[in-house]
Amino acid sequence: MASKAAARGKSHALQLRRWIYNFMNSGALPTHRYGSFTTSALGDEDFAQAIHLHLLEISGRGEYIRALDVVKFVSSEEMQHYLGGKVTISERTARRWLNEMEWRYGKILKGMYIDGHERADVVQYRIAFLERWLEYERRMQIFDRDGKVVRDPKLTVKPGEVEQRLVLYTHDESTFYANDRRKTKWSHKDEPCKPQPKGEGESLMVADFLSPEFGRLKHGEEAAREARVLFRAGTRRDGWFDGDNIIEQAELAMDVFEQRHPFCQMLAMYDNATTHLRRPPDGLTAYKMVLNPKREWFPKKAGVRMRDGTLPGDVRQPLYFPDDHETMPGWFKGMRQILKERGKWRPKMLAECEKFKCEEGKINCCARRTLFNEPDFAAQRSHLEEVFAARGHICDFYPKFHCELNFIEQYWGDAKRMYRMTEATTGTSEMEQNVLHCLDSVSSERILRFANRSARFMDAYRKGLTGPQAAWANRKYHGHRVLPEKIMQELEKM
Please report, as ranges, the residues that interact with Zn ion according to CB under 5 A. 353, 358, 365-366, 369
The distance from CA 208 to its chain's CA centroid, rounded to whole angstroms, is 11
Q: Minimum CB separation from Zn ion for residue 369, in Å?
A: 4
Q: Minimum CB separation from Zn ion for residue 368, in Å?
A: 7
Q: How many CB atoms lie within 10 A of CB 287?
A: 12
Q: Minimum CB separation from Zn ion for residue 371, in Å?
A: 11
Q: Minimum CB separation from Zn ion for residue 308, in Å?
A: 25
| CA dist., res. 164 & res. 110, Å (int) | 51
Residue whose CB is less far from Zn ion, 181 or 369: 369
Handedness of CA 233, 207, 50, 441 (dihedral sign): negative
Residue whose CB is less far from Zn ion, 98 or 366: 366
Q: Which residues 6+ apart lie within 8 Å of 14 measured at CB?
A: none
Q: Minimum CB separation from Zn ion for residue 365, in Å?
A: 3
Q: Which residues of 167-191 are buried (b: 16+ CB within 10 A; e: fewer)?
A: bbbbbbbbbbbbebbbbbebeebee
Task: Please name which of 168, 219, 223, 175 lies closest in space to residue 195, comparing C-alpha atoms.
Answer: 175
Residue whose CB is less far from Zn ion, 317 or 373: 373
Please return the burial class of 447, using the count of CB atoms within 10 Å of its CB with bins 0-12, 13-18 and 19+. buried
Residue whose CB is less far from Zn ion, 21 or 356: 356
| CA dist., res. 135 & res. 168, Å (int) | 13
- The helix or strand, by DSSP H or E, that contains position 176, with its residue range, turns out to be strand 166-177
Residue whose CB is less far from Zn ion, 279 or 368: 368
Residue whose CB is less far from Zn ion, 291 or 366: 366
Residue whose CB is less far from Zn ion, 110 or 355: 355
Query: Contact 399/118 with Cβ under 8 angstroms?
Result: no
Q: Minimum CB separation from Zn ion for residue 358, in Å?
A: 3
Q: Minimum CB separation from Zn ion for residue 362, in Å?
A: 6
Residue whose CB is less far from Zn ion, 306 or 358: 358
- Helix intervals (H) in 75-173: 77-83, 91-100, 102-105, 120-137
Q: Minimum CB separation from Zn ion for residue 339, in Å?
A: 13
Residue whose CB is less far from Zn ion, 205 or 365: 365
Backbone angles phi, psi at 176, to 5 degrees: -110, 145
Query: Contact 82/50 with Cβ under 8 angstroms?
Result: yes
Backbone angles phi, psi at 8, to 5 degrees: -95, 170
Q: Minimum CB separation from Zn ion for residue 347, in Å?
A: 16
Q: Which residues of 38-61 are buried (b: 16+ CB within 10 A; e: fewer)?
A: bbbbbbbbbbbbbbbbbbbbbbbe
Q: Minimum CB separation from Zn ion for residue 340, in Å?
A: 18
Residue whose CB is less far from Zn ion, 49 or 364: 364
Q: How many CB atoms lie within 10 A of CB 162?
A: 11
Q: Which residues 6+ apart lie within 8 Å of 170 measured at CB?
A: 209, 210, 211, 268, 269, 406, 407, 408
